[in-house]
Structure 1
């Protein structure tokens, strides 16, 4: 089936409040692996310690054996290092700036911890799983931003109290950050005119939730994903292609005389 870019572009053009929900698939065109995207590195195999990757990168493991969690966090970060925003990230950020100029708004709810939406310039951003580019101490209030993990002693000690620093991400078995959940709830409470799910299988309830909300509220929704997902049967429009291709085609229809940004 030929993707109906014209219909989706018309929805984007007419919407005053847009929510993008993004997952690992949006970063695939930046060279990042999709889940197990936590690697592709550990798909269906155990770590050297005989652990599943979920066990190795759990909150409890970070507390009891931070050297194990850090070993695999660093390996994953190293495999993703150097990646930059692709056309999908850039065009979502540009759409936010463009809509803001007309008193409208674009938000991004992302599961990704790679920081690429922020690097592209998205400002109305809910990083529901955190970001690897921010470290915080497990013992005191110290925190800092890092470009990458190169040169870090593992596990890195806190320069203030000597405790262990950790990436400010949601590890397996940990609760989602309440502030991010509150932001999402407030956003849906105020209402949006269009929801787009991009590059996510939507297996988590808080990621599929806005699509369910849109369906119940009679708000149009779009899925951009080459494959079938948990919300494919719920959306009003499907573009079964990659994120960068879809966003580029939508942008071209919104700006027929300007080309892609």
Structure 2
């Protein structure tokens, strides 16, 4: 592990355009469970499978059950950035962090101070009316009861998160692909690269050094210049910017 950390530090020191591609494993050390771990959402007991509950058709057909799950399992308002989020934000401040491409919806990268964040799957911080597109923030959603209704027109409000069966935002995808293509170092971290089309974006990387930091194996391990199987925050906490 010590040798891997030294190699990672060297890669960081020489990188001029570093991009992080983060998944749920970036936030588990902040107390937010991921979907596929032994303790994750896919292993919870509900009347429906979690992947069905957070689908577009389920939101439309059974919004009450959707919101029961969403409020209890997808919103963690007290979660705080961990060492990984802080390291990534600090690297951006040096000018060597080109951007963060994240599959997470928890806003922790922004809360840590990162300003260049492409949120592929949206954010819990925003909610919009499905009819008039009026927007409200996270506090409003937390304070709302039962089915959250638009204060303007009374229609149903929807979290600004990408559900199964929904397309990713094209402008966010374009920004993410631009950063990945421009990067000389891409660090894939805290993701098993199992969710598409987000996971497929990393194949647009043509730079010098590819690093994978994840607790379990990923499809990109064999392509990586460095592969570290360890918790992300614990790993980055041992480096210096």
**Same fold by TM-score greater than 0.5:** yes
Q: Which residue of 2 aligns with 1:134?
A: 126
The aligned counterpart of 1:63 is 60
Q: What does residue 228 of structure 1 align with?
A: 217
Quote the residue 2:9 is aligned against: 9
Normalising by structure 2, we get a TM-score of 0.91
Shift of 1:156: 0.5
Q: Over aligned residue pairs, what C-alpha RMSD do you find?
A: 2.0
Shift in CA distance, 199/148, structure 1 to aligned 2, threshold 3 Å: farther
Query: Is residue 77–residue 149 contact of structure 1 (8 Å, CA) maintained in 2?
Result: no
What residue ranges of structure 2 are gaps of 5+ in the alignment?
A: none
Answer yes or no: is 1:88 the counterpart of 2:56. Answer: no
1:201–1:27: structure 2 CA closer, same or farther, 3 Å change rule?
Answer: same
Aligned length, in residue pairs: 240
Separation (CA, whole Å) in 2 of partners of 1:159 and 1:213: 43
Structure 1 moving runs of 4+ over 6 Å? none
Contact 1:25/1:34 (8 A) holds in 2: yes
**TM-score of the superposed pair, with normalisation by structure 1:** 0.84
Aligned counterparts of 2:24 and 2:229: Cα–Cα separation in 1: 16
**Following TM superposition, by how much is the alpha carbon of 1:41 offset from its aligned partner in structure 2, in angstroms?**
4.0
Q: What is residue 73 of structure 2 aligned with on the other side?
A: 76
Query: Which of 203, 208, 216 is residue 212 of structure 1 equivalent to?
Result: 203
- Offset, 1:219: 2.0
Structure whose alpha-carbon radius of gyration is higher = 1
Residue 77 of structure 1 deviates from its aligned partner by 3.5
Instruction: Name 2:183's counterpart in structure 1.
Output: 192
> Residues of 1 paired with 2:102 and 2:207: CA distance?
23
- SS of equivalent residue, structure 1 residue 4: helix
Distance 1:162 1:246 in 2: 47
Pairwise CA distance, 1:35: 1.2
Q: Residues 21 and 3 (structure 1 numbering): CA distance in 2 closer, same or farther, change over 3 Å?
A: farther
